[in-house]
Amino acid sequence: METLQTLAQCFLQSLSPDPKPRREAEAYLLDAAKQPDFAIAVLRLVAEPSVDDQIRVAAAVNFKNHLRSHWSTDNKNSSDEIPESVKDQIKALIVPLMLSSHTRIQSQLSEALAVISKHDFPKLWPSLLPELVASLQQATNYVSINGILGTANTIFKKFRYEYKSNDLFLDLKYCLDNFAQPLLKMFLQTASLIEATVDANGNAATLCPLFESQRLCCRIFYSLNFQELPEFFEDHMREWMTEFLRYLKKVYRVLEEGGGDGQSLVDGLRAAVCENISLYMEKNEEEFDVYLNEFASAVAELLIITSVFPSRERLTVTAIKFLTTVSTSVRHNLFANIVQQICQRIVIPNVRLREEDEELFEMNYVEFIQRDMEGSDLDTRRRIACELLKGIATNYKDQVISVVGLEISNLLGAYAANPSVNWKDKDCAIYLVVSLASKKDGSISTDLVDVGSFFISNIVPELQNADVNGSPMLKAGSLKFFTVFRNQIPKNVAIALMPDLIRFLTAESNVVHSYAASCIEKLLLVKDEGGRARYNSQDIDQFLPMLMTNLFESLSSPESEENPYIMKCIVRVLGVANISNGVAGACIRGLTLILSRVCTNPKNPIFNHYLFEAMAGLVKRACEKDPSLISEFEKSLFPIIQTILRDVPDFWPYAFQLLAQLVELSQQTINQNYMQVFELLLLPDTWKTPANVPALVRLLQAFLKKAPHELNREGRLSQVLGIFNRLVSVSSSVDLGFYVLNTVTENLGYDVISPYVSHIWNALFTRLQSHRSVKFVKSLIVFMSLFLIKHGSQTLVDSVNAVQPNLFVSILEHCWIPNLMLIAGRVELKLTSVASTRLLCESPVLLDASGAILCGKLLNSIVILLSREEQDRVVEEAELPEIGENVGYTATFVHLHNAGRRDEDPISEVNNPKEFFVKSLATLASQSPGKYPRIIQESLEPANQAALLGLCNTFNCSIV
């Protein structure tokens, strides 16, 4: 292995501001990392006191990262994994080295130790915990003590988030047996030191590591108690709770009066205590009950003090969470007589806007909206304070309504007395109404105020204010109120305010124009009874030109160039409005301009998804209304699509879906541009990226449907079936393989596909034999049904039996019949039931006397399939599904709702599959009197006999 001097020089160069030596050093280290003893060499460099500190820290960071990627790999035989002999050396060296190092190195080695423990502790590293305990007992300074406790805290965290299992509880018991007693001893020892230091007027430098030690002890307490109350902690609860209560009640002036790090350390310990007592309230309420009164009182008093300090956010939030937990417990009576004090002294001070809220509003609109509108603010003062009121209202609703209603009235009165100075009072009132609202019968409502009159009196004046830039936070709160209570605002009132909402799209504040866009978008989603949309194209067509102009203009605002709320509003409007040629032209130009810019740096996946959704929606709505626009759209979109296919692989799934949409909409003759893409589509390399495959299948289906004759040229059908074969052989893409095969079957005659039919059956039955998943079997039944409908039952039977004599009967008996009732989806159910009916009534295999048993089984499955309730099998797709924060480009495919392929009915001549079934059966029964009543009697269960009789009565048919 390399000498320490060489490694030291290399790590020094890796810190160089000059790119050339830095890259050379990084490349060297990357190559050296392949050697089996690399980790030991780096660890020895970290341990060498003669080496410069910055080099040792860089080496410690490298060591930690090396362990993350090489300690355990998926392939145990991989040369990338650190050898067991080296692992043993590392385990022997790391703990003493960590404890003897200074803080910066110690923190890196502690994280490295946590990486090892994640994989090996405790079973493969039984010496770790005894070594930590021995070191804890021997440690003479709090740098080492806190290093040990920090490491223990990290390795015990798994008890907070792993699922309960026997192995987990065995590990927990092992940790409790070895660490619970030393932990308590250290906690009490440090508590005594704190008290002695405070009594002796000790300085902050002495107290700080002691408070950090207690905080770490509290976090370990939380981990070890998370799953259940251990016997040791139950036996020693008083010792823990006595100290917990002390830290909540006592003032440590030497640390707190100076603020800064001292205050932060004290508050960190108190927050950890609040989390511990919240845990006990949630999981061990009976055992904790004796301490509850004192803790509730101490936390409430602490909150009254901390609420006025912006910097004490975490403590405030955790303390309020504890009171919220108490408010919904059996001891909720603690709040019975103090609702007003809680509201006035804790809730209102924490709901009022603070300076940091205003800064966030101005400086980071995305985070502000995520907190305020999207509900990620559960751990902020404003939201958690309202959650406390909701908790109290669980048992004291009338009191809460009365007290909060009075506070809202007082706040609005203060605003009315001096609007320019007291605007935060009105904001607070609006926030209380919105945050304390609840969902009833599918819409948001509140008992605090009459929504209609509150809206007219307090919200409409803000919305109709001519100055869209004045009091922006108040405007944002008013827009949020409109959005939240949109179902309760009468349609005529909302329509009258639409011009004002459109005006706010031009506001300078990113939050304000985002909220205006969100309000418009959510209004267009409102549905009345029966699921009928409240707002239609006629309602917004009068505003459409100005609305679209302002939406696109808002996308030119600083930092709003990729505003997802604006783009989502564009998508929604395009999905509702009547798109005139003029609007369509302006929109496609605006969208392609934005896409051209975004292609240079695709950094906002949610915005980009809605951008493509807007393009797909525009193509869909405009071209369906006026087919003459197709050529204009092609001219606008083809250059940018070609750019994407050449330079922006992140956008390939979207480009392929747009192309599929254009192919389907195009006129009879497909132009050469499309055919170039078709040739690209058939290349194996195009299909290598999994995220592209669903979109490629969608595009291939469009080509197969639009230009099936092209498959007869240059061996293309063979290439397409090769794609089908690859897709159907992999579990994750089985359904996609069948989409391709079904489209080929739908659009090509038997004379074209007959040379390949044997290959198709072989591929499918081989897959059926090796990997019989439910998804595959259902897809196979749908395909065979389609094949029967297109080419006849005899062709189906003969082609299957050509693979192996009598194979069809085996497939029918062991695959088709037992799984037919699992089919779901309107078109799929109709297709398979009609195909099964035809098979029953046409196939000699089933008409022959020897096939009576099989005939009865198939009859039974068809009856079950057709008699199921509609809601059991039909799931409506959401209207433009929400796109989550985890949308990415390469990990998964993201479907464009507006570019989706419509299900086409291959048997549109059959109106009702139930009627087709009973009438076909009645015709057959009339030809063989007595046969089918016997089969029904012998093969169908009583419930299915009744269902069949009901179907016959419905359509006035008889099979007797």
Cα 832 to Cα 826: distance, rounded to the nearest angstrom: 10
778-797 residue pLDDT tens: 999 999 999 999 999 999 99
- Tokens, residue 379: 């751990």
* Share of residues in the chain with pLDDT > 90 (%): 66
Cα 40 to Cα 86: distance, rounded to the nearest angstrom: 7
Cα 409 to Cα 413: distance, rounded to the nearest angstrom: 6
Range scoring the smallest mean pLDDT among 45-59, 323-337, 551-565, 832-846: 832-846
Average pLDDT over residues 186-211: 95
Smallest CA-to-CA distance from 210 within 145, 153, 156 is with 145
Q: What is the pLDDT of residue 849?
A: 65
**How distant, in Å, are the alpha carbons of 494, 561, 573, 662 from that of 520?**
10, 19, 8, 29
Residue 956 scores a pLDDT above 80: yes
Instruction: Transcribe 556-624 into DSSP letters.
Output: TSTT-TT-HHHHHHHHHHHHHS---HHHHHHHHHHHHHHHHHHHT----HHHHHHHHHHHHHHHHHHHH
CB-based contact 214:190 (threshold 8 Å)? yes
CB-based contact 207:198 (threshold 8 Å)? yes
Instruction: Transcribe 753-767 into DSSP letters.
Output: HHHHHHHHHHHHHHH
**How distant, in Å, are the alpha carbons of 115, 140, 158, 172 from that of 119?**
7, 30, 11, 15
Cα 752 to Cα 743: distance, rounded to the nearest angstrom: 14
**128-138 helix and 84-100 helix, angle to the nearest 10 degrees:** 20
Q: Which residue has the higher pLDDT, 664 or 311?
A: 664
Is the four-CA dihedral 336, 337, 342, 344 of positive or negative sign? positive
**Maximum CA pair distance of the chain?**
109
Q: What is the pLDDT of residue 193?
A: 97
Q: Taking the mean position of all CA atoms in its chain, how far away is CA 662?
A: 31
Range scoring the smallest mean pLDDT among 422-436, 689-703, 920-934: 920-934
Range scoring the smallest mean pLDDT among 4-13, 412-421, 516-525: 4-13
CB-based contact 627:582 (threshold 8 Å)? no
Residue 64, number of CB atoms within 10 A of its CB: 19
Q: What is the pLDDT of residue 302?
A: 93
What are residue 533's DSSP bridge partners?
Answer: 527
Cα 154 to Cα 157: distance, rounded to the nearest angstrom: 5
Length of the chain: 960
HSE of 261 in the Cβ direction (CA atoms, 13 Å)?
7
724: phi then psi, degrees, rounded to nearest 5: -55, -45
What are residue 444's DSSP bridge partners?
Answer: 439
Cα 379 to Cα 42: distance, rounded to the nearest angstrom: 41
- Tokens, residue 752: 């074209």
* Cα angle 432-436-440, degrees, rounded to a multiple of 5: 145
**510-523 helix and 544-554 helix, angle to the nearest 10 degrees:** 140
Q: What is the pLDDT of residue 876?
A: 41
HSE of 580 in the Cβ direction (CA atoms, 13 Å)?
10
Cα 550 to Cα 566: distance, rounded to the nearest angstrom: 10
Average model confidence (pLDDT) for the chain? 89
741-767 residue pLDDT tens: 999 999 889 999 999 999 999 999 999
Q: Which residue has the higher pLDDT, 691 or 361?
A: 361
Amino acid at 76: K
DSSP code for 151:
H
Q: What is the pLDDT of residue 644?
A: 93
CB-based contact 794:802 (threshold 8 Å)? no
- Tokens, residue 86: 């080296």
Q: What is the pLDDT of residue 952?
A: 85
Sorted by where each begins, the domain ranges of the chain are: 1-120, 127-327, 336-442, 760-869+903-959
Cα 365 to Cα 511: distance, rounded to the nearest angstrom: 6
Q: What is the pLDDT of residue 853?
A: 82
CB-based contact 738:783 (threshold 8 Å)? yes
**Using 50, 70 and 90 to split pLDDT, how confident is the model at 670?**
confident
Instruction: Transcribe 852-867 into DSSP letters.
Output: HHHHHHHHHHHHHHHH
408-417 residue pLDDT tens: 999 999 999 9
CB-based contact 820:944 (threshold 8 Å)? no
Phi-psi region of 384 (alpha: psi -120 to 50; beta: other; left: phi over 0): alpha
CB-based contact 658:637 (threshold 8 Å)? yes
Instruction: Transcribe 413-463 into DSSP letters.
Output: HHHHH-TTT-HHHHHHHHHHHHHT-EEETTEEE-SSS-HHHHIIIIIHHHH
Cα 215 to Cα 266: distance, rounded to the nearest angstrom: 9
- Tokens, residue 871: 């809601």
**How distant, in Å, are the alpha carbons of 563, 614, 713 from that of 567?**
7, 7, 43
368-405 residue pLDDT tens: 998 888 765 567 888 899 999 999 999 999 999 999 99
Q: What is the pLDDT of residue 881?
A: 53
For the chain, the straight-line distance linking the first and the last C-alpha, in angstroms and rounded, comes to 90
544: phi then psi, degrees, rounded to nearest 5: -60, -50
Q: What is the pLDDT of residue 673?
A: 76
Cα 552 to Cα 561: distance, rounded to the nearest angstrom: 9
Cα 889 to Cα 736: distance, rounded to the nearest angstrom: 20
Which residue is associated with the tokens 């464009």?
896
* Share of residues in the chain with pLDDT > 70 (%): 94
- Tokens, residue 298: 């101490």
Cα 72 to Cα 69: distance, rounded to the nearest angstrom: 7
CB-based contact 75:30 (threshold 8 Å)? no
Most confident of 63-67, 103-107, 624-628: 63-67
Cα 93 to Cα 127: distance, rounded to the nearest angstrom: 12
- Burial (CB count within 10 angstroms: exposed 0-12, middle 13-18, buried 19+), residue 157: middle
Q: What is the pLDDT of residue 677?
A: 84
HSE of 423 in the Cβ direction (CA atoms, 13 Å)?
15
Q: What is the pLDDT of residue 900?
A: 72
What are residue 445's DSSP bridge partners?
Answer: 438
**How distant, in Å, are the alpha carbons of 393, 432, 437, 734, 848 from that of 327?**
9, 18, 18, 52, 74
